[in-house]
Structure 1
Amino acid sequence: MASEAQPLGERGRDHAGVLTSALTRRGRQRFTGTLRMDGSPGGTVSMRDGLVVAASTPAAPGPEPLLLRSGRISEADWSAAFTAGAPEGRLERELVARGLLGDAGVQVITRAAVADALFAMALCGVRTCTADPDDPAPLLASDPGLDAERAIREIRRRLDLAHSWAALGLSIRSRPRTARPAGAVPVNAQRQELLARVNGRRTPRDIAFALGRGLFPVMSDLATLIADGLATVEPLLAEGSEAVPDPEPRSGPTDHPPGHPEEGIRSRSAPPPHQGIPYQESAGLPRRRHRSTDHEPRFQRKPPD
């Protein structure tokens, strides 16, 4: 099991060192398989010959919610295509054959989902990474994929912007609400739709899932709305609260102490997460309860009523 130390240049700015170093290493090795990122909430990165072809995290919408929540594809059409194509691993071809997406449209949506998921994982932080070379490819993947170094440059560019939004009080945990500006401020249709979801209870992630838009573009538009005086940020919840819930605690002690991230090849296989079911968004202020375990305390969010 090889250790992945966080680069000195990344410390203090973000917690993306494990993610970026893993992408760099596996890209150079022309790795094929899945990288499982342990974080809050973490996620997965699928690679083929060293290229990033898919990424998934509960912190950001994947291809399915991006298509369905935005209204680009109806749920009935998606279900029909999924039923016909998913069992044989040809969901992409089925979507194109049914005229629901073009070849270019598939690449646009898959690449956008990859970039957004990588940004979300980097923003939330990654503690450790485990590589699984035997994991099957996802149903919807970018072809040929994104070069690892290019993906890292995009991650860092987006993190720099997210860092600048902190001056406005905006973070992934923020719960913005509308504000009454002193004067009239023009707002385009896309930002007006976003503003309609801003109610002091939803986080940027909640709004992204509700609209079928990526986390990064939603946060970018929120920053503009806050700067224009059309939205403001509610104070954070109690210490330890997360807009995105932590994964379930492990059944045994962790192999790596905090502050010493590692990456390794798994000696056992594990079933991949279901590709077709997006993480359920919250509707309103989530309820939390504290549960003590043998690990560090976590706050779990109950699903909405």
Structure 2
Amino acid sequence: MASEAQPPAGRGRDHAGVLISALTRRGRQRFTGTLRMDGSPGGSVSMRDGLVVAASTPAAPGPEPLLLRSGRISEADWTAAFTAGAPEGRLERELVVRGLLGDAGVQVITRAAVADALFAMALCGVRTCTADPGDAAPLLASDPGLDAERATREIRRRLDLAHSWTVLGLSVRSRPRSSRPAGSVPVNAQRRELLAKVNGRRTPRDIAFALGRGLFPVMSDLATLIADGLATVEPPLAAGSDAVLDPEPRTGPAVPSPELPDEGIRSRAAPPPPHWSPPPQEPTGLPRRRHRSTDHEPRFQRKPPT
């Protein structure tokens, strides 16, 4: 098991130093196994003969939520295919045989999930990488996979775009709110659906999971909506907050996702201290009331008679 730490040159604006260097090095070595990324929240990258075949992170939807929450596959059909195919490692074949996806559809969804997960990990930051040679590949993998050099170029391209969105106030921890523009601005169906989820409480990651879309395309559309005056950006809850990692958009009771087990990834921001206010003043001339002592009030004592 080998571990890689971030080089000094990778610090600062480029949060992807460890991720990019690990992909480049392991791609040249034709590595087979799993790269485990330690970050906020981090994730994992599966490689086969130096090609990236899968990647997952709590910061972006994987193939399952991309298929289910977008409505491309019903939950009942997914459960049936998973039950039949997963134990023998042939989930992909089961989806195709049942007519839920074609061979091309499987590749489109798996490659999109890989690229989006790599972008999300790079954007949130990776501190260290540990390589597990020979680790088992996931059930849904891209075949043959993404070339590591090409994957790193795509990571940098997406990070550059994400950096340009910061002038609009948009980041992975922003909580955009819809607004009414001064003039009429045409909006297509996809952006209209996204705008319906923009309520000042959800982060781009929350919206991506709610819609079953990738984090990068959601942020790209949010940038357009903000530039067109259809949305504004609420400031983050706190600097360095982990609130982006809430497992579900807060529209109802939280239901753990199969890919996102509750592992203490909710926001750890401490609640504000209780506010103390003095007891109300009694009107002049009336008998004074005795106040009970509380956690936030001073304890009153009667003076001994003189």
- For the superposition of Structure 1 and Structure 2, which TM-score range results when normalised by the shorter chain? 0.7 to 0.9
Give how far 1:95 is off. 0.2
Give how far 1:236 is off. 1.5
Per chain length, whose mean CA-contact separation is higher, i.e. which structure has more relative contact order (CA < 8 Å, sep 6+)? 1
Contact 2:4–2:128 (Cα < 8 Å) also in 1: no
Helix, strand or coil at the partner of 2:162: helix
Q: Distance in 1 between matches of 2:268 and 2:40?
A: 16
- 1:6 pairs with 2:3: no
Deviations 1:128-147 (A, max 9, x none): 00000131110000000000
Aligned-partner residue type, residue 187 of structure 1: V
Aligned partner of 1:223 in structure 2 is: 223
Aligned-partner residue type, residue 185 of structure 2: V
Q: Distance in 2 between matches of 1:4 and 1:198?
A: 37
Helix, strand or coil at the partner of 1:80: helix
Aligned partner of 2:77 in structure 1 is: 77
Contact 2:206–2:244 (Cα < 8 Å) also in 1: no
Aligned partner of 2:298 in structure 1 is: none
Gapped regions of structure 2 (runs ≥ 5): 247-256, 272-306
Aligned partner of 1:150 in structure 2 is: 150
Aligned partner of 1:34 in structure 2 is: 34
Q: Distance in 1 between matches of 2:165 and 2:31?
A: 35
Q: Distance in 1 between matches of 2:270 and 2:103?
A: 47
Structure with higher Rg: it is 2
Deviations 1:239-263 (A, max 9, x none): 33223349xxxxxxxxxxxxxxxxx
Aligned-partner residue type, residue 238 of structure 1: A
In structure 2, relative to structure 1, the CA distance for the partners of 1:70 and 1:135 (3 Å cut) is: same
Q: Distance in 2 between matches of 1:228 and 1:280?
A: 37
Aligned-partner residue type, residue 41 of structure 1: P
Aligned partner of 1:130 in structure 2 is: 130
Helix, strand or coil at the partner of 1:140: coil
* Number of aligned positions between the proteins: 258
Q: Distance in 2 between matches of 1:199 and 1:244?
A: 15
Aligned partner of 2:260 in structure 1 is: 279
Give how far 1:4 is off. 4.5
Aligned-partner residue type, residue 127 of structure 2: R
In structure 2, relative to structure 1, the CA distance for the partners of 1:205 and 1:3 (3 Å cut) is: closer
Aligned-partner residue type, residue 91 of structure 1: L
Give how far 1:195 is off. 0.1
Which moves more between the two structures, 128-137 or 204-213?
A: 128-137
Deviations 1:253-304 (A, max 9, x none): xxxxxxxxxxxxxxxxxxxxxxx823279xxxx765549xxxxxxxxxxxxx
Helix, strand or coil at the partner of 1:244: helix
Task: Give the CA RMSD over aligned residues.
Answer: 2.1
Report the TM-score when normalising by structure 1: 0.81
Gapped regions of structure 1 (runs ≥ 5): 247-275, 292-305
Which moves more between the two structures, 12-21 or 224-233?
A: 12-21
Helix, strand or coil at the partner of 2:47: strand
Q: Distance in 2 between matches of 1:287 and 1:62?
A: 21
